[in-house]
Structure 1
């Protein structure tokens, strides 16, 4: 296999993995909205288990959210990462703003929207993110942006992160809906 094929394979694998987890998240939040479980939260034993997984080791506060809060967060994440990837591919070392996941105004926005509206916005944002990831070219994987807390972040780093982030929230949602 040539390097070009392995790089293109990386983008393809990232796209497929992201789509699989986005589908899971979509099905779970859709089921919660349909079943009246939009405000479901984790049971303490599930919170204790999940706090050691993925990005929750650093963002444990997210485990206190309702299903609706998670849906809003995933929507915002999709929008933010779409913007970051787009800017990283177009601009020379863009400054990437921090994403404060538990900002009170952000949570208030999630809680003020009807579930059907938030679900539509989530679907659009997830689709746009997926199309952005699928459109990454091999020459763009090493492009970087600068995050104020993390430092330099490459397009490849973001592609590595995204499926796992969605997986973490899919596991959270599945536990909330048991």
Structure 2
């Protein structure tokens, strides 16, 4: 088993969609809460930035311990998330770009044997590293769709 071209391409490029969606928005639009009790564009970006680190921590734990169990990540339960929410959007995007390089190096540096190592998700069960990476990318894509919807809400 090796990392698929689809995963590699999305790891390299998918996050760049953020800038394409928000390029013409001002700070007020980024911070505006369109729906009560739902995140703004900025908060979605802060979540994506923070979750990249969570993802890397999980992959490293899988590599070191083999089949660890993880709870569902909820930003509201993460004491570090509030600090991410207070950072300027441009800083978050720079951090996403820098951390994505680290994620890419991490994933591309994993041997074919290590790709079979698993970690347990509370809903989806045992996932190997390739499936964890797919889950990470699909989670990110969900938030990219949300950002698109908020940016174009009329």
The answer, yes or no, to whether TM exceeds 0.5 is yes
Matching of residue 71 in structure 1 with residue 45 in structure 2:
yes
Cα separation, 1, equivalents of 2:114 and 2:79: 34
Equivalent in the alignment of 1:24: 17
Matching of residue 156 in structure 1 with residue 130 in structure 2:
yes
- Report how far residue 125 of structure 1 moved: 2.2
Once the two structures are superposed, what CA deviation does each residue of 1:67-92 show, in whole Å capped at 9, x if it has no partner? 11111110111111111112212322
Q: Would you tell me which structure has more helix in proportion to its own residues? A: 1
**How many matched pairs?**
151
> Gaps (5+ residues) in structure 1?
1-6, 45-60
> Gaps (5+ residues) in structure 2?
none
Matching of residue 131 in structure 1 with residue 123 in structure 2:
no
RMSD after superposition = 2.8
Equivalent in the alignment of 1:120: 94
- Report how far residue 42 of structure 1 moved: 4.4
Equivalent in the alignment of 1:39: 31
- Three-state SS of the structure 1 residue aligned to 2:30 is coil
- State the TM-score, normalizing by the size of structure 2: 0.78
